[in-house]
Amino acid sequence: RQILVLFLFFQILGAVILGFGIWILADKTSFIAVLQTSSPSLKTGAYILIGVGALTMLMGFLGCLGAVNEIRCLLGLYFTCLMVILITQVAAGLVIYFQKEELKEEVSRIVERLIANYDPWNDDDKNDKNLQDAWDYVQKQIACCGWNGAKDWENNAILINKSMSEYPCSCSNSSKDSEENTGFCKLDIALNGTETSADWPVHKQGCMDGVQNWLKDNLGIILGVCTGVAVVELLGMILSISLCKNIHSEDYTKVPKS
């Protein structure tokens, strides 16, 4: 019974990974939406997660089938696929770790381009509108402004034309703008064209710092989950190979010959 529970756990784990990959592709209201629409690498990663999740569910089913019916080839296949998945996860983690600076630069380029082209009145491109809404949501939830800071918004074409007399509402730290989640808000007091982002009533923290702080605060949970999954996968490999060794093959030399 314990063996079947473990294999069932792998099916649940595969469903979770599959669901996470689908969520990345379907999400339209968070920071993930900004990245997955603009970065082909994140889309590829989402498809890989979907494939790994589906494969893990299939392997859980085959493992159950092989254990119940004592089929060596299914248990061997289960062990092999589980080993491939584990090696792939470790390799992906190493790539992310050693390429983190390149990934950070790519994210910076994506967000800075989005901010520079931000236009709340452009409804022609639904994809751009969804991206802008997602970025407004991020700034509102994290209480940040721009990627490196509010100064990033000084590159926005519309704000340049407005002589910086307006600012993004989603960046506001003022309670009067709490209902304005998108678009631009006007400064209460204009300075006759000498305004800069320093004059805006906005959050001073850049979203990059907010995201990094969130990762630091939750790093223990993330590492714990990844370590737990790896340990369970190792246990599954050990269990499957042990079952495979304990299954006795028929000795056909003892079968009477006709």
CATH number of the domain that residue 135 is part of: 1.10.1450.10
Q: Is 131 a domain residue?
A: yes
Q: Which of 21-25, 121-125, 144-148 has the highest mean pLDDT?
A: 144-148
- pLDDT reported for residue 94: 82
Arithmetic mean of pLDDT, 217-225: 77
Task: Give the range of the structural domain holding residue 205, as residue numbers without chain letter.
Answer: 102-223
Domain total in the chain: 1
> Token pair for residue 82?
């589980």
Neighbours of 216 (CB within 10 A): 9
CA distance 18 to 231: 20
- pLDDT reported for residue 252: 37
Q: Is 85 a domain residue?
A: no
Q: Is 255 a domain residue?
A: no
- pLDDT reported for residue 60: 75
Question: What is each CA distance from 177 to 39, 120, 140, in whole angstroms?
Answer: 31, 16, 11
Arithmetic mean of pLDDT, 153-179: 86
Q: Is 30 a domain residue?
A: no
Q: Using an 8 Å Cβ cutoff, are 41 and 24 in contact?
A: no
Helix (H, G, I), strand (E, B) or coil at 185: strand
Q: Is 205 a domain residue?
A: yes
Residue matched to tokens 């340990």: 231
Torsion of CA 77, 82, 83, 88, to 10 degrees: 130
Tens digit of pLDDT for each residue in 37-71?
Answer: 555 666 677 777 788 778 877 777 777 777 777 77
Q: Using an 8 Å Cβ cutoff, are 155 and 109 in contact?
A: no
H or E element that contains 23: helix 2-26
Neighbours of 43 (CB within 10 A): 15
Q: Is 207 a domain residue?
A: yes
Tens digit of pLDDT for each residue in 8-39?
Answer: 777 777 777 777 778 767 766 666 666 655 55
Enumerate residues 6+ apart whose C-beta is below 8 A from 162: 184
Question: What is each CA distance from 178 to 14, 86, 156, 211, 248, in whole angstroms?
Answer: 40, 46, 22, 22, 70
Arithmetic mean of pLDDT, 145-164: 92
Which segments within the chain are labelled E, that is strand? 166-168, 184-186
Q: Is 6 a domain residue?
A: no
CA distance 241 to 11: 19
Q: Is residue 241 over pLDDT 90?
A: no
Q: Is residue 217 over pLDDT 90?
A: no
Q: Is 173 a domain residue?
A: yes
CA distance 254 to 258: 12
Residue matched to tokens 């859980």: 60
Q: Is residue 177 over pLDDT 90?
A: no
